[in-house]
Amino acid sequence: MAPAGPKCKVVLVSSEDTEVVWEDSKPLIEGALKHSEGELMAEDLLPFIKNGEQQLWVAMEDGEVIACMVTEVISYPRKRILRVITIGAKDGHGMDKWYTFLPMVEGFALNNACTSLEAWTRKGMAKKLTDWKSSYTVITKDLNQRIQ
């Protein structure tokens, strides 16, 4: 991975400050969610971010939001994890700019008693995350034709 430039900064946005960056973050989240199965839209995440159940992280360069990520602490019966719900970038390939800040996200997870990170991702992204283990494959089947 290329190191993040000195102009790039990643911050965890407080729930109270969500509205300050939401208009810049929303299109990036929507762009990322276009690759999902339609289970979420950006506006579905906003109430959870604002009430603190989910976290909004933004990468900024020269005062501009260039990437964002939404996470959520999940408590399973035997462990807590930090789930990455979505990641979106302005150029679609902003991973090189924010990936060096992953230790900050990991620190947040550890401070919240999480023992691992979890993300549902496309095969292309999974290949890039070489220090992550592919534990599951999620497959889907559309049943809309059976409803009609």
Give 36-89 pLDDT, tens digit per residue: 888 899 999 999 999 999 999 999 988 899 989 999 999 999 999 999 999 888
**Half-sphere exposure of 19 toward its Cβ, with a 13 Å CA cutoff?**
2
Is the pLDDT confidence value at 94 over 70? no
Give 1-48 pLDDT, tens digit per residue: 344 555 788 899 999 999 999 999 999 999 989 888 888 999 999 999
Q: Are 54 and 44 in contact (CB under 8 A)?
A: no
> What mean pLDDT do residues 124-139 have?
77
Using a 10 angstrom Cβ sphere, with 0-12 exposed, 13-18 middle and 19 or more buried, the burial of residue 126 is middle
Give me the residue label for tokens 């969610």. Answer: 33
Q: What is the pLDDT of residue 95?
A: 65
